[in-house]
């Protein structure tokens, strides 16, 4: 094997354990690669590549979806196109709908949910936050499961992501009083990075009070996050025009994206707040604007 300083070395493990062991042995110079659709762009930008590449594409046991009682388990190496196909046939439309807005068909055929999450910039992360997703990593002492919310606050991660778990909403809550949405703001209709993404999940009781609410944002260089203040402000209250105004204002205060050459922070705040307010209004008021 040519081990010159500037040459790259590719490893192709067959199992999760093998992959995790390789990463531990090779350390910081090594990088897990699933499809490479995101990393390729990063490498191109920086004009440098990691020395050791651990390709995960042969690891079949981390591919596929399983529906268990109360939650959905998704293997980290499941391709987005495959996810969409399976979820559409299961009738779970919000994840499927979100996937159709990621990149292009050719990329979705290769890209994996694991890559989407581990990039920390994936379009799905805000939605998964709104859905209270959990993720599992392979460690020396077995699998370690944690909420996605706690993980995104952590620094760079060197463990192997194995699964994503999503509580199955439609089983636990009544369809007609809950609503989930995914709204991505990009500069064109498709095949476009997100400038900002806002996602939410909410339920109301018979009297119209919001009893459950998750609101999450991400996109661009903005790390995905939950909008806890806005959520707290809404829970337990009935939606009316006044509250909508407050929700709009609260999101603007809580979501603080960086400006970029193509959009100002103010625009992204306004657009995200409008999208969330419109979703809430449609959900609760069924009134015109």
CA distance 142 to 137: 8
Q: How near is the Cβ of 188 to other proteins at its closest, in Å?
A: 5
- Residue 36 in tokens: 């490479």
Q: How near is the Cβ of 83 to other proteins at its closest, in Å?
A: 20
Comparing CB distances to other proteins, the nearer of 58 and 190 is 190
Q: How near is the Cβ of 275 to other proteins at its closest, in Å?
A: 5
Comparing CB distances to other proteins, the nearer of 8 and 14 is 8
Comparing CB distances to other proteins, the nearer of 136 and 275 is 275
Beta bridge partners of 142: 139
DSSP state, residue 127: H
- 50 CB contacts (<8 Å, ≥6 apart)? 8, 29, 30, 31
Q: How near is the Cβ of 278 to other proteins at its closest, in Å?
A: 5
Query: Which residue in the block uniquely carries the two structure tokens 């979820």?
Result: 87
Is 44 buried (19+), middle (13-18) or exposed (0-12) by CB count in 10 A?
exposed
| Biggest alpha carbon–alpha carbon distance for the chain | 70
- Residue 81 in tokens: 């196109």
Q: How near is the Cβ of 265 to other proteins at its closest, in Å?
A: 11
Comparing CB distances to other proteins, the nearer of 180 and 281 is 281
Report CA Rg, the chain.
Answer: 20
Q: How near is the Cβ of 104 to other proteins at its closest, in Å?
A: 8
- 6 CB contacts (<8 Å, ≥6 apart)? none
Comparing CB distances to other proteins, the nearer of 29 and 189 is 189
Catalog residues that contact other proteins under the rule CB under 8 A: 41, 104, 185, 187-193, 241, 244-245, 247-248, 261-264, 266-267, 270-271, 274-275, 277-278, 281-282, 286, 288-289
Comparing CB distances to other proteins, the nearer of 77 and 247 is 247
């Amino acid at each position: 094997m040519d081990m010159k300083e500037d040459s790259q070395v590719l490893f192709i493990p067959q199992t999760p354990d093998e992959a995790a062991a390789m990463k531990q042995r090779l350390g910081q110079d090594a990088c897990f690669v699933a499809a490479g659709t995101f990393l390729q762009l990063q490498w191109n930008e920086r004009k440098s590549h990691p020395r050791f590449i651990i390709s995960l594409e042969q690891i079949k046991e981390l591919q596929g979806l399983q529906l268990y009682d109360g939650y959905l388990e998704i293997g980290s190496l499941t391709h987005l196109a495959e996810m969409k196909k399976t979820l559409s046939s299961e009738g779970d439309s919000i994840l499927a709908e979100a996937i159709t807005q990621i990149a292009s068909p050719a990329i979705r055929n290769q890209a994996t949910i694991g890559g989407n999450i581990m990039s920390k910039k994936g379009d799905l992360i805000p939605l998964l936050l709104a859905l209270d997703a959990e993720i599992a990593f392979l460690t020396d002492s077995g699998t370690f499961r944690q909420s996605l919310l706690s993980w995104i606050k952590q620094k760079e991660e060197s463990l192997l992501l194995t699964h994503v778990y999503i509580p199955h909403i439609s089983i636990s809550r009544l369809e007609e009083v809950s609503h989930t949405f995914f709204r991505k703001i990009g500069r064109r209709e498709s095949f476009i990075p997100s400038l900002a993404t806002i996602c939410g999940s909410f339920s109301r009781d018979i009297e119209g009070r919001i009893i459950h609410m998750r609101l999450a944002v991400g996109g661009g260089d903005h790390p995905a996050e939950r909008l806890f203040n806005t959520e707290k402000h809404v829970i337990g209250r009935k939606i009316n025009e006044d509250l909508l105004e407050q929700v709009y204002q609260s999101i603007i205060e809580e979501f603080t994206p960086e400006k970029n050459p193509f959009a100002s922070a103010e625009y992204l705040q306004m657009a995200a707040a409008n999208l969330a307010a419109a979703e809430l209004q449609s959900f609760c008021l069924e009134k015109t604007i």
